[in-house]
Amino acid sequence: MKKEQMMQFLNEGHVSVPRLLLNYYASVGLQEEDTFFLIRLHSFIDQGNSFPTPEELASAMTYSPQVCLDKIQQLMQKGVLTIEEHRNEAKSYYSEAYSLLPLWERIFKAIEQEAAEKSAAKNVENEESLYTLFEREFSRPLSPIECETLAMWIDGDNHDAELIKASLKEAVLAGKLNFRYIDRILFEWKRNGIKTVDQARAYGEKFRKHQYDKKAPVEKQETGQSAPIYNWLGR
């Protein structure tokens, strides 16, 4: 084959196959044969033939027209293909067209479900790591009430796991290792729109500086402490 002929073939164009279809066809209940058939149908639509006949489909595949018709019916039953009617206002007639919109909707639902499952798994992992972290800092197993409070922070108040860790660290630094103090920290952060650890750190530093400016001379003489810990319960 000459180079010119090869270039002519390549310039005839190509069919863009969405990667999402290749990645999620099994998740929406499709087999490889179903997927290739949909890709072939998509190529007809892409070339301007939105309602190819079974004979036209068969001419581009190894299937017979009857098998193509059967495949179309099967895909419609699976809920990934539909036929739409389009009205031509100018000529006052209806035309039919295949639509792959149900397929994309099924795929997007599969993506959302996958994301939800990953998020749930991450939440479980974060919850387990938080329990372990709290028990290590408290040097004892958490009581049932403390476990319930921690679960409420995660599931009820929707506090980010990293913020909960930061609030625990804040309590450790303040020498006030109890759930009431930590809960107050989280309450203050949420009330003031704190959503990240960096924001929480900046917020705490702001009040430490304010407290230091007011009390530093006395505290520095008495304790030698250069920057007092902010008392979240004593505002």
Quick: pLDDT tens for 38-91: 999 999 998 899 999 999 999 999 999 999 999 999 999 999 999 998 877 666
Domains of the chain: 11-106 (1.10.10.10), 142-223 (1.10.10.630)
Range of lowest pLDDT (114-128, 162-176, 180-194): 114-128
pLDDT band at 102 (very low <50, low <70, confident <90, very high): very high
More confident residue, 217 or 41: 41
> Which residues make Cβ contacts (< 8 Å) with residue 49, sequence separation at least 6?
56
Count other Cβ atoms within 10 Å, centred on residue 14: 9
| SS3 of residue 49 by DSSP | coil
| SS3 of residue 95 by DSSP | strand
Spatial separation of the C-alpha atoms in residues 91 and 110, rounded to whole Å: 40
Separate counts of helices (H) and strands (E) for the chain: 10, 2
User: Is pLDDT of 142 > 80?
Assistant: yes
Task: Provide the whole-model pTM.
Answer: 0.55
